[in-house]
Amino acid sequence: MGRPRGFDEATVIRSAAELFSTRSYDGISMDDLVTHLGVHRNSLYKTFGSKRGLYQAALRWSLEHHIAPLIDRVAGAGDLAQALHVAVGEPAEEAGLNLLLMAVVERAPVDREVADQLAPVLAAFDQAARTAAGQHSPAGQHPPGEQHSPAENARQDEDDVAFALTATILGLRLRARAGTSGTNVDQAGAALAHRLTRHP
Amino acid sequence: MGRPRGFDEATVIRSAAELFSTRSYDGISMDDLVTHLGVHRNSLYKTFGSKRGLYQAALRWSLEHHIAPLIDRVAGAGDLAQALHVAVGEPAEEAGLNLLLMAVVERAPVDREVADQLAPVLAAFDQAARTAAGQHSPAGQHPPGEQHSPAENARQDEDDVAFALTATILGLRLRARAGTSGTNVDQAGAALAHRLTRHP
DNA sequence: GCAGTTTAGGAATGAACAGTCAAGAACGTT
DNA sequence: AACGTTCTTGACTGTTCATTCCTAAACTGC
């Protein structure tokens, strides 16, 4: 009952995510959003409560619909080269990764809820990178013990490499954003993957 | 002649760089700067012209006094592990790299002068990473020819790996900034370097 | 100690900002 | 067709923003 909405909420969220992926949170005004989304201020406030609410909805949507599938594809990639390719080479995921990048760099440090939302995503990325890098040891957190058995060291090493690989993926997207052509970024990822998998 | 300054310009620039490294450009107001720097608004405007002028001075200073020496140390590192360690493991350079990170992610896309200033710095980083990764081929741009001789391919590959390594350095700093729980960044860099140098 | 020059300080300006209000329009229900 | 409900709309509010004005202060040279 009541007047029907003149806009599709999912579409608005997707457009907002796109806009938020291009500039900093404080660099985007509500007027910018109103213009870019083609939806009236009050409709946005009614639906999302505040600018922050809209941002959070956009981030959540992007993490769920862009990043999570991307993580799955990274985890399912046959080898590391393919994993890096799907992570940075696909232009379709640009907006999603750019928003993640912005969120990590400039939102997380000043918004705890954002930080708390991103932490598990980065962890999942690590896990996927670890899977793609070579299925040597099973998933899992580190057990509490302080002993350094060879098996534990190996597992820790896998974690560390995966952590660095996620960093590389984000760094490569950062550089693509900074002006380097996508082709070169993809090529750089391939070159690094090749070096890392030379010695299986 | 005239009344002497009540502040040291270099100190102010350094403090501004520190502050700009913590939040986005638009997330920092002139009031924030006035408070953090302990210098009156008018003195800042008299000296730097505008908020953007102050930012540019801070960025230039940081690139010159933090990033350039860091690049030199990366280039001079004995091996890749050491290069990554000096790049991400030294807490003294945190502010410099964080500012670089913020500049690349959120300033460069909306401020061409910043973008133009960062491009050669990233290129220098690539060159240093290439040097640290192994002194196989001399420095230099690619010659114009389109042939793909083995030597050229090797050189291109070195460039690509170096590009990816710079991305990794920035990515690792990004993750350090994001509050890495568990795995530490330095250790991750070391693990990746170890994998990359296993096969010389 | 006065003239000239440069900085400091506080107050002001207008624009842009996030968020709100009240009136009306489009529906389902009765 | 009258009603309650939900959405739309444009104007509005108070705040914060970057930037500027003006006067007083601190110095140098005469």
The identity of residue A178, as a single letter, is: A
Mean pLDDT of B135-142: 44
| A83: CB partners within 8 A, 6+ apart | A74, A77, A128, A129, A132, A133, A193
| pLDDT at residue B142, as a whole number | 46
Q: Which CATH architecture has domain B9-140+148-197?
A: Orthogonal Bundle (1.10)
Q: How far apart are CA A100 and CA A66, in angstroms?
A: 10
Per-residue pLDDT of chain A (200 residues; tens, 9 = 90+): 889 999 999 999 999 999 999 999 999 999 999 999 999 999 999 999 999 999 999 999 999 999 999 999 999 988 899 999 999 888 878 899 999 999 999 999 999 999 999 999 999 999 999 998 875 444 444 455 566 667 667 777 888 999 999 999 999 999 998 887 878 899 999 999 988 886 54
ipTM score of complex: 0.90
How many CA atoms does the CB half-sphere of A157 hold within 13 Å?
15
CA of B3 to C1' of C5 (A): 8
- A2 CA – C30 C1', rounded, Å: 15
Q: Answer whether residue B141 shows pLDDT above 60.
A: no
Q: Which residue of B has its CA nearest to A20?
A: B106
Whether B96 shows a pLDDT value over 80: the answer reads yes
A61 or B143: which carries more pLDDT confidence?
A61
pLDDT attached to residue B164: 96
- Distance separating alpha carbons of residues A33 and A8, to the nearest angstrom: 15
Q: A119–B179: do the CB atoms touch at under 8 Å?
A: yes
DSSP symbols for B78-143: SSHHHHHHHHHT-GGGHHHHHHHHHIIIIIGGG-HHHHHHHHHHHHHHHHHHHHHH---S---PPP
pLDDT, chain B, mean: 89
Find the closest chain A residue to B160 by CA distance: A188
Percent of chain B surpassing pLDDT 70: 88
Tell me: pLDDT of B7 over 50.
Answer: yes
State how far the Cα of A86 lies from the Cα of B180, in Å rounded to an integer. 25
Tell me the pLDDT tens digit for each residue of A10-58.
999 999 999 999 999 999 999 999 999 999 999 999 999 999 999 999 9
Q: Work out the minimum CA distance from B82 to partner chain A, whole angstroms.
A: 15
Out of A26, A161, A179, the one facing B119 most closely (by C-beta) is A179
Query: What residue spans define the domains of chain B?
Result: 9-140+148-197
Residue of A152, A163, A196 to mutate for B, most B C-beta atoms under 10 A: A163
- Taking only the tens place, the pLDDT of each residue in B21-76 is 999 999 999 999 999 999 999 999 999 999 999 999 999 999 999 999 999 999 99
Q: How far is A81 from chain B (nearest CA, A)?
A: 13
CB B79 within 8 A of CB B190: no
Are the beta carbons of A191 and B104 separated by less than 8 Å? no
How close does chain B come to A189, measured CA to CA in Å?
6
Mean pLDDT across B102-127: 96
Q: Give me the A residues in range 125-184 that sit within 7 A (CB) of strand C.
A: none
The separation, in Å, between residue A52 CA and nucleotide C19 C1' comes to 12
Give B151→chain A minimum CA distance, Å.
Answer: 15
Lowest mean pLDDT across A8-22, B82-96, B130-144: B130-144
| Res B31: pLDDT | 97
Dihedral angle of Cα A150, A151, A157, A162, to the nearest 10 degrees: 170
pLDDT reported for residue B180: 72
B73-82 per-position pLDDT tens digit: 999 988 899 9
CA of A168 to C1' of C11 (A): 51
- Return the pLDDT at B78: 84
From the list B107, B124, B132, the residue with the least C-alpha distance to B25 is: B107
Taking the C-alpha atoms of residue A73 and residue A77, their distance in angstroms, rounded to an integer, is 6
Nucleic acid strand D: bases within 7 A of protein CB: 4-11, 16-22, 25-29
CB pair distance less than 8 Å for B198 and A195:
no
With an 8 Å Cβ cutoff, are A110 and B189 in contact?
no
Q: Is the CB of B30 under 7 A from strand D?
A: yes
Region B99-120 average pLDDT? 97
Q: Which residue is nearest to nucleotide D20 (CA to C1')?
A: B42
